[in-house]
Amino acid sequence: MSKIREHITLVEGDLDTPIEGDLEPYVIFTQLATGRPYIYAGWVDAIDAAMAIQFGREHYGQDQKCVGLWAIPKPAITAGGAEMTARGRYEVFLRAESGEPHRSAGCVEAESSREALDTARRDISGAAEARSIWVALSERIVATGPDDVIWRLTDQTYRMARGYASEVRAKWEEVRARKDIEEYEKDDLKEMF
């Protein structure tokens, strides 16, 4: 951080209308390889769907290789509580085991979210045994395109904890190779890695 941050005199104060007034929650799903399911990653607060995708990409698309993102407005996803009476195609997400994230498992056509859940339990493989089912109207899903870059093409392993750990490990190994190792190996090193 630069010293410039030590004395910040703002040119202007806060906006008249706080930015938070416009924010809506969006649930983000990531796809790790083409053709694979979209997996629940978390959610972001965003001003609109385009920004939800941008935030989702930076928050959830940089932990591992990721080729696709979905952003769905949170109120558009239901697990059976409030019923949505919209007719159309619903995307079905299943949580197979407790602790597992929800994964996209296919689509059903239905008159309402309740019917979509019933149809999913009957027609989607694994749904009957799933711990939890979510459905969302497909038209509410905002998705990245096939040419969009999410996972960076330039080497950015240093951004990740494991990238940093592997650099530190390489340096430790250099130290060990230089033979001043015994004490380190017994105590610190084993604990740390």
Partner 1 sequence: MTSIRQDLKEPFADLLLSVADDKFILGHRNSDWTGLAPMLEEDIAFSSLAQDEIAHAKALYELIGGLLGRSADELAFGRALEGYRCATIVELPDEFDWATAICRQLLCNRFDALRLARLARSTHKPLADLASRLAAEQRIHVEHADSWIVRLGAGTEDSRRRMQRALDALAPEAPMLFEPVDGQERLESAGLYPLAATDMFQEWSESIAAVTGKAGLRLTIQPPAAQTNGGRHGRHSKHLAELLDEMCEVYRLEPNAAW
Instruction: Starting at the earlier edge strand, list the strands of the sheet with 88-95.
Output: 77-78, 132-137, 88-95, 103-110, 38-46, 24-31, 68-73, 142-143
55 binds partner 1 (CB under 8 A): yes
177 binds partner 1 (CB under 8 A): no
- Span near partner 1 by CB under 8 A; candidates 58-66, 75-83, 105-113, 176-184: 58-66
Among residue numbers 151 through 170, which ones bind partner 1 (CB under 8 A)? Answer: 152-156, 159
- Residue by residue, DSSP assigns 51-94 as HHHHHHHHHHSSSS---EEEEEEGGGEESSSS-----EEEEEEE
- Span near partner 1 by CB under 8 A; candidates 17-25, 99-107, 108-116, 121-129: 17-25
Among residue numbers 107 through 136, which ones bind partner 1 (CB under 8 A)? Answer: none
Q: Which of 6, 19, 161, 190 binds partner 1 (CB under 8 A)?
A: 19
- Return the structure tokens found at 167: 């650099």
- Span near partner 1 by CB under 8 A; candidates 4-12, 110-118, 132-140, 185-193: 4-12
Residue 106: CA count within 13 A, CB half-sphere? 13
